[in-house]
Amino acid sequence: MRITLPQTDLKVFPLCLGGNVFGWSADESQSHSVLDAYLASGGNFIDTADAYSEWKEGNVGGESETIIGSWMKARGNRADVVIATKVAKSSKRPGLSASNIKLAAEDSLRRLGTDYIDLYYAHEDDEKVPMEETLGAFNELVTSGKVRYIAASNFTSARLAQALNVSQENNLAKYIAVQNQYNLLTRSEYEEDMVPLLLKENISGIPFYGLARGFLTGKYQPGVVVESVRAGGVKDYQNEHGWAVLAQLTELANVHAATIPAVALAWLRSQPTISAPIASARTVEQLKEIIQVVDLSAQEISILNSIV
């Protein structure tokens, strides 16, 4: 199963595997097992960043890229996968200056053990640097063949629109995808601010936190204490609205003989602009929970949309 990202020739599986856990809550061996299982299930779209997983004590950043690179080298499968990585948030390579983008790209290519990146994101906006400089640097990477396409993450629609205009006016490579937060429980900012522009410009939404930091996996329930390095991130969802959404997802999962996260990701795929949501898995068992592609009816989507 493949979809083509608009404005590209990238054909990807409709679930992008998040690499943020590689080198954090999953060591190299566990990560390779998850990547093997993802590929065996038909997956081919892997998301990482130069900053992953710098936040873990003892890490320096780039661990996720290194693990993905060692996996591709061991399996000899670089041509079979679409690799997305990012620049701007690493403490060693911060921001979107031309010099930093060039150096960061070389670092990522080395860690990944490849000579090209399929999709290269500006991991966050950098208003200190003129967009002409940033996009000029990205354009050089594209024209040299080191990057196939560029994308933006954590941008506002106003800044994305400005970037698209700069690319158009200067004949530079342009952002073809956006990676912002979007899920059943975090909707308004993306839907109100970003969706109109993405529809107008035919740009892919490839959202992160598609499962609301793990809350929509179903392991969080009223009164249940979950031992996880990510548990603290879901406190804002543990309320009447969150439990109502989870209850409806559970009901639909039973109807479709599917998992709760598979249904939550199916809702995301049904939304205008969304090409492939991102979700991560620390173990093969967790991957099995998210990999199923479910088709929801218009009525089922409406029911989920209406929970307030």
CATH number of the domain bearing residue 36:
3.20.20.100
In this prediction, residue 199 carries a pLDDT of 98
Active site residues: 52
- Is residue 207 in some structural domain? yes
In this prediction, residue 149 carries a pLDDT of 99
- Is residue 226 in some structural domain? no
From the centroid of its chain, how far is CA 195? 17
- Is residue 35 in some structural domain? yes
Residues 7-53: tens digit of each pLDDT: 999 999 999 999 999 999 999 999 999 999 999 999 999 999 999 99
**Per-residue pLDDT for 131 more than 60?**
yes
Write the single-letter amino acid at 74: A
Would you list the DSSP string of 38-63? HHHTT--EEE--TTTTTTSTT--S-H
Return d(Cα 90, Cα 152) in angstroms, integer.
16
Average pLDDT of the segment spanning 205-229:
84
In this prediction, residue 219 carries a pLDDT of 86
Query: Would you say the C-alpha torsion 302, 281, 233, 243 has a positive or negative sign?
Result: positive
- Is residue 42 in some structural domain? yes
Taking residue 50's Cβ as centre, other Cβ atoms within 10 Å add up to 24
Residue 261 structure tokens? 């996260």
- Is residue 183 in some structural domain? yes
Between 45-49, 68-72, 108-112, 230-234, the lowest mean confidence (pLDDT) is in 230-234
Which candidate, 291, 305, 203, places its Cα nearest to that of 252? Answer: 305
Residues 267-303: tens digit of each pLDDT: 999 999 999 999 999 999 999 999 999 999 999 999 9
- Is residue 229 in some structural domain? no
- Is residue 220 in some structural domain? no
Phi (first) and psi of residue 179, to 5 degrees: -115, 95
Return d(Cα 165, Cα 20) in angstroms, integer.
31
- Is residue 224 in some structural domain? no
- The two most distant CA atoms of the chain are separated, in Å, by 56
Average pLDDT of the segment spanning 213-233:
75
pTM of structure: 0.95
Report yes or no: 305 and 271 within 8 Å, Cβ to Cβ. no
Q: For the chain, how many structural domains are there in total?
A: 1
Return d(Cα 45, Cα 17) in angstroms, integer.
6
The single-letter DSSP state of residue 122 is E
**Could you give the percent of the chain with pLDDT greater than 90?**
93
Q: In sequence order, what are the beta bridge partners of 274?
A: 205
Q: Which domain holds residue 92?
A: 3-213+272-292
